[in-house]
Structure 1
């Protein structure tokens, strides 16, 4: 085991951030990777880069199922590397194969965010295909349907009242505790 930035890190394990869209996975992931001096992988950004299409375009032209296949393929491809921090898509937890990959290669951290906080964060977003496609009732139902899956994570951080930097500190503390 290595100690990085005062935090005990499993050098051969990855850290996978999961949570609903708007929970802060990308922001926290970048900060956490920097704090731990490891590389950061944003799966959504990797999909955009690899397939030369925005996530909205992929959802519209190829459908959500194809997007989810791309997501699983990239998760598997990058998970063979060690010591990375991942920001995952909000729906990655819907496929058992993704759980198998994440659980076998690292620690899964759920950034738990209440519906009112998420709603406030999402209302100004035009980059999220499921926000664009769903009315708020459907979006809340999607959020509620995923909660039980997110709670399978190894670690849960309640992020409503925390800044991204405070979330990073909480994650580092929980990881140090084992």
Structure 2
């Protein structure tokens, strides 16, 4: 296997955690969901962090977690939707492993996420969410590989492992 870490980026409900777990199992690697890692470290849920410490604090913490993870190998890392759209984080990931964007369209995102109360950003209006979706997509598009996130998870895993085996990117 040519790559030592795989980062999954994409908007909320694009399948990063589902695909990430399957991919890690297939490769015999560890799966890390950065959102869950921040919750574990902070000992509170993301909505609680947003409410008590603010979104800026959460964004700093997820970047810190990413900085710790890039030191390790044999990881499949699911980034939160905001971290994957952070230009600094994207550059860190691209120089540390294979970055894969699981792309879904806006309507698919809405269907999958519904009214998930564990996602503070879903409190925004449809228009605000669409604007956020569009702006984040511009950063996600810098990933090494873009895949249709509506494909079956096992198909996505196969595509990612093929890309990793043929990893032509100089790190």
TM-score band w.r.t. shorter chain = over 0.9
Aligned counterparts of 1:174 and 1:82: Cα–Cα separation in 2:
17
Indicate conservation of the 8 Å contact 2:86/2:139, yes or no: no
Corresponding residue to 2:129 among 129, 139, 156: 139
Residue 98 of structure 2 is matched in structure 1 by 107
Residue 10 of structure 1 is matched in structure 2 by 2
TM alignment of 1:2-151, pairs within 5 A? 9-10=1-2, 13-131=4-122, 133-151=123-141
Q: Aligned-residue CA RMSD in angstroms?
A: 1.3
Indicate conservation of the 8 Å contact 1:10/1:83, yes or no: no
Length-normalised TM-score, structure 1 = 0.89
Aligned counterparts of 2:145 and 2:95: Cα–Cα separation in 1:
15
Aligned counterparts of 1:137 and 1:100: Cα–Cα separation in 2:
29
Q: What are the ranges of 5 or more consecutive residues in structure 2 without an aligned counterpart?
A: none
Q: What are the ranges of 5 or more consecutive residues in structure 1 without an aligned counterpart?
A: 1-8
Length-normalised TM-score, structure 2 = 0.92
